[in-house]
Structure 1
């Protein structure tokens, strides 16, 4: 997708669905958020920019640390998610600011001590230009920290539903592995090249395997099926193919193997990327 297509996509029904799933998604990504914030190590008084902030989970956590002497700004293209982020900020009496903007070109402020992102940087149509723009927003020596997905083969949360439903879905043509999307930054060598060309230095890639909790509650299997029909690659494929009812029992059977202690957890793996301006 182009950046314009991404903006249209996230302001459609998809954005509203992610608002409804905000608490579930934040819970599923708790291990990632914890590791991202630890690597970012925000400090009181810092100016921080959160790219693709969504419903505000990471921005609000950062704002609580930087305090009154600092400031946290969250950027996103989805108005529904930003509306939810502002609601959460108001409830928490947070001074975090949420702006509807494309981070690839936004330049209303600069001098950021920290620029971070939880899965918000893999969707740039021109990632080289976008990282160059972010470099220009950073203070000298400013830190860049982001989480991106490792290859799909290491992320069963994404591949299991698609594999289970493959016989019901139309054949998919081969796709460009570098096209904007969840796994566009799976190759660390490519990401390193993009970052270095944009002026970032002291790059490091930390591998973080984790388990994504996709189902819990009174009926964790039904919860996990609902999760997969609303979030992730299978959700869009099922919706486009109109096979929602047929997909449910198949997904339930596939997910049962991952039920343990009242929760359904699927393996995932990310790169935690750090750099300096």
Structure 2
């Protein structure tokens, strides 16, 4: 059985953040979710996946599903926490977006329904039974359905290594009560190779992977769940990062949000179910 990740706490402001935005991102986390969505959408469009049913595993507040729902998808959100599902329902209702909600473990999923797209963000690294969890995700797909596995491994990416001094300085500026310890959660350091090894034993094709999120995280507390700075600092950082992505696109790549595995904050593994 999958161990529950007890990250939710009603007295932490981080758990009330909504990272979806219909306009320009106002902070670095909104910027990351927007670029995750644009990357997902590009993969979906390039593969010709029809816009129909999608499911997010370990949905939390449903930040990424908000993008899918706003784009016209029939969304299902799955999480093992009734409290978190209740919060996600409220967030969708407040934004007049429709979705289906399911309380379930992400390893032993009992759903019989099949989906065109199955995705997870920051989930699989928290599950010790990785092979079983990946197989459950693939089993939810229709033939030719797309899986998107966004993984945040337990290591320090190259893009982050030169910014410890700034985050340490920001932490000093915070009042002691604002530096309240965050819950410890299990997180593996499995690499892309481990995911590819597992997936090659399953019925998949078009298997691809890449590092993702090539920007540093700047905050007095970058541990999960990420703590935002005040709105003025976030506005400044977000605009700097937007410029940085434009420079990356001009000099390096057609998709500036993708990068080498060791450089990015996370990695993305995707492909399709063969039958």
Higher strand proportion (structure 1 or 2)? 1
Structure with the larger RCO, 1 or 2 (CA within 8 Å, 6+ apart) = 2
Distance change >3 Å, CA 109–CA 144, structure 1 → 2: same
| CA distances 1:163-204 after superposition (whole Å, capped 9, x unpaired) | 959xxxxxxxxxxxxx951x534x111110112223333210
Are the counterparts in 1 of residues 160 and 216 from structure 2 also a CA contact under 8 Å?
A: no
Partner of 2:101: 98
1:211 aligns with 2:215: yes
Aligned length: 222
Q: TM-score, normalised by structure 2?
A: 0.65
The equivalent residue for 1:72 is: 75
Task: Call closer, same or farther: CA 1:139–1:31 in 2, change over 3 Å.
Answer: same
Q: How has the CA–CA distance of structure 1 residues 127 and 213 changed in structure 2, closer, same or farther, with 3 Å as cutoff? A: closer
Question: Mind listing any 5+ residue stretches in structure 1 that lack a counterpart?
Answer: 166-178, 215-223, 236-251, 253-258
Among residues 31, 36, 40, which one is paired with 1:36 in the alignment? 40
Partner Cα distance (2:66, 2:235) in 1: 31
Distance change >3 Å, CA 18–CA 45, structure 1 → 2: same
How many angstroms does 1:63 deviate by?
1.9
**TM-score of the superposition, structure 1-length normalised?**
0.65
Q: Which residue of structure 2 lines up, in the alignment, with residue 231 of structure 1?
A: 225
Matches within 5 A, 1:138-149: 138-149=141-152
Paired residues of 1:19 and 1:84 also in contact (CA < 8 A): no
Which residue of structure 2 lines up, in the alignment, with residue 134 of structure 1? 137
Cα RMSD (Å): 3.8
Q: Is the 8 A contact 1:148 1:272 kept in 2?
A: yes
Q: What corresponds to 1:190 in structure 2?
A: 194
Secondary structure in structure 2 of the residue aligned to 1:87 = helix
Hey, which of these two has a bigger chunk of helix by percent? 1
Summarize deviations over 1:63-88 as a string: whole Å, max 9, x none. 23235xxx210112234432332112
Could you tell me how far apart the structure 1 residues matched to 2:152 and 2:204 are?
A: 20
How far off its partner does 1:115 sit?
0.6
2: distance between equivalents of 1:10 and 1:56? 15
Listed as ranges, the gaps of 5+ residues in structure 2 are: 20-26, 170-184, 242-262
